[in-house]
Amino acid sequence: MSTAKDIAVLVGSLRAASINRNAAHALQALSPDGLRLDIVEIGHLPFYNPEFDEAPASVPAGYVAFRNRIARADGVLFLTPEYNRTLPAVLKNAVDIGTRPYGKSVWAGKPAGVISISMGALGGFGANQDLRRLLANVDMPTMQQPEAYIGEGHKLFDGATVTAESTRLFLRQYLDRFAVWTDRHAVAPVAALVA
């Protein structure tokens, strides 16, 4: 039986070959023995609509599966590009879906990490900070150091391969720290939700 922490990885880009998706695959390969990273798809989720949760029979199956997947995770790692100086709608939508139904948020107390990667020199700083603010609101203890703003990402990843040794080393160190963070902020898994 594996004792590795189950980490749900959410990628804020829908593009199949996005820099952030490539980085997520690279992180899986770099992950220490104490973590098991699993990319959880969010692009298929319908936009959050409170009417779904007001009539439980109408809750989309995708919502239920997503909420249950996040509920059983030991932690969540968010990888985000920056769109117009903030996080992508698909990532915000996933967070909103996980906070409902009211009083049953799957995010509460779950340790989180944020990595922003962009083609620009600022490394998605705006998206990173907005996502951190959002995660604080949904009660996720988010690792503060090391901060991860990776600029000019298109030069650092070739598919799932990290092309720069300094970036590979940084990401490995980030994951080592995140393993400690998830241990420090471990919470009991949330019971599965029923639609």
- Count of alpha carbons within 13 angstroms of residue 158, beta-carbon side: 3
Nearest C-alpha neighbor of 43 from the set 113, 117, 93: 93
Consecutive sets of 10 residues in the chain, 195 residues long: mean pLDDT of each?
87 94 97 96 96 91 97 97 95 97 94 96 93 97 96 93 96 97 84 57
As a whole number of angstroms, the longest Cα–Cα distance in the chain is 52
Contact 76, 39 (CB under 8 A): no
- Note if the pTM is more than 0.85: yes
- pLDDT (0 to 100) of residue 193: 60
Tokens 């590795």 sit on residue:
4
Which residues, listed in sequence order, are joined to residue 36 by a DSSP beta bridge? 6
**C-alpha to C-alpha distance for 177 and 184, rounded to whole angstroms:** 11
| Dist CA 58 CA 97 (whole Å) | 14
How far apart are alpha carbons 152 and 3 in whole angstroms?
35
Other CB atoms within a 10 A radius of the CB of residue 19 amount to: 23
The SS3 call for residue 82 is coil
80 neighbors 131 (Cβ within 8 angstroms): yes
Domains of the chain: 5-184 (3.40.50.360)
* Strand-pair category, 5-11 with 75-80: parallel
CA distance 119 to 193: 38
Per-residue pLDDT, 195: 52
Question: Do residues 30 and 171 touch, judged by C-beta distance below 8 A?
Answer: yes
Place of tokens 């990628």: 11
Residue with tokens 């990888």: 79
pLDDT computed for residue 3 by the predictor: 85
**Cα torsion angle, 69, 75, 77, 83, sign:** positive
- Residue 119 tokens read as 């083609």
